[in-house]
């Protein structure tokens, strides 16, 4: 199954944000152990770098540490490009968040099977299935979701 991960799933894992951390980290583990193919958009990589820089603020070599986070993620996540066509198509998607409409458009063009997010309402008009991390884990039959 090819799944496009929303930024919040990754950042919840990286920053160990509770109560979302457990399920989001298990999604990342499922990808790292080849139970699922995980993807992010090229724009998400820049966003994750930004959040990582904020997380390391005040430390030495902030940018280097943020780049190491990206390097680690790209060992098991693949990147789908966002095209100008995706941005144009996103204008026609009924959605209150244009950035998420772009993600939907990119996911459809890239033949993703689903989008994983904890903000389902941002994707309620998606033509492809949307799952929360918990729903995806149930679908994959991953045990101890609430552990």
pLDDT of residue 96 exceeding 90: no
Q: Is residue 147 domain-resident?
A: no
Q: Is the pTM of this model over 0.95?
A: no
pLDDT-derived band at 53 (thresholds 50, 70, 90) equals confident
Phi, psi at 73, each rounded to 5° = -65, -40
Q: Which domain holds residue 98?
A: 2-140
- Residues above pLDDT 90, as percent of the chain: 69
> What average pLDDT does the segment 19-43 reach?
93
Domain tally for the chain?
1
Q: How many angstroms separate the first and last alpha carbons of the chain?
A: 24
What are the structure tokens assigned to 58, written together? 């005040």
Please report, for the domain that includes residue 104, its CATH number.
3.40.50.1010
Q: Is residue 145 domain-resident?
A: no
Instruction: Name which residue leads in pLDDT, 52 or 3.
Output: 3
Q: Is residue 19 domain-resident?
A: yes
pLDDT-derived band at 31 (thresholds 50, 70, 90) equals very high
């Amino acid at each position: 199954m090819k799944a496009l991960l929303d930024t919040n799933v990754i950042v919840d894992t990286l920053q160990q944000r509770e109560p979302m951390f457990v399920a989001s980290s298990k999604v990342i583990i499922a990808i790292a152990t080849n139970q699922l193919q995980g993807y992010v958009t090229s724009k998400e990589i820049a966003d994750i770098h930004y959040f990582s820089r904020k997380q390391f603020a005040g430390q030495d070599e902030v940018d280097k540490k943020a780049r190491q986070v990206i390097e680690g993620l790209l060992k098991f996540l693949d990147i789908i490009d966002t095209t100008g066509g995706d941005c144009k198509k996103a204008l026609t998607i009924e959605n209150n968040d244009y950035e998420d409409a772009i993600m939907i458009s990119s996911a459809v063009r890239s033949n993703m099977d689903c989008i994983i997010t904890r903000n389902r309402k941002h994707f309620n008009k998606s033509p492809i299935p949307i799952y929360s991390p918990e729903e995806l884990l149930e679908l994959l039959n991953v045990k101890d979701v609430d552990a």
